[in-house]
């Protein structure tokens, strides 16, 4: 879990997921599960924000950066930042 490449790969997977969630309706792809999964992941990330704030409060990372990155990446961003595996 101390491998920055692992965390970056997980973050890349989330970026690919969010792009698919945005593009699928535009391309009229029939993926009925995608909306539900996107909502569940986003709600989970919203619920993670207070935890990320408490864990990174004294790290020098701005509140805005913590909020935005947690909403996009969830624990795949704030956990390795907390552990010092990647920079905030």
Q: Is 56 exposed, middle or buried (0-12, 13-18, 19+ CB in 10 A)?
A: buried
Count CA within 13 A, CB hemisphere, residue 31.
16
- Asked whether 2 and 84 are in contact (CB, 8 A), the reply is no
pLDDT at 1: 84
- Full-model pTM: 0.92
For residue range 25-35, list pLDDT tens digits in order.
999 999 999 99
| pLDDT score recorded for residue 5 | 97
Residue 88 pLDDT class (50, 70, 90 cuts): confident
DSSP labels for the chain? Answer: ---HHHHHHHHHHHHHHHHHHHHHHHTT---HHHHHHHHHHHHHHHHHHHHHHHHHTTTT--HHHHHHHHHHHTHHHHHHHHHTSS--
Tens-place pLDDT, residues 32-71: 999 999 999 999 999 999 999 999 999 999 999 999 999 9
Mean pLDDT across the stretch 4-12?
Answer: 97
């Amino acid at each position: 879990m101390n491998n920055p490449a692992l965390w970056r790969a997980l973050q890349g997977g989330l970026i690919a997921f969010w792009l698919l969630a945005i593009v699928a309706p535009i391309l009229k792809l029939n993926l009925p599960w995608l909306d539900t999964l996107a909502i569940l992941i986003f709600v989970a990330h919203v619920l993670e924000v207070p935890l990320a704030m408490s864990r990174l409060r004294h790290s020098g990372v701005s509140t805005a950066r913590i909020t935005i990155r947690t909403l996009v990446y969830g624990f795949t961003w704030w956990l390795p930042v907390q552990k010092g595996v990647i920079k905030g």
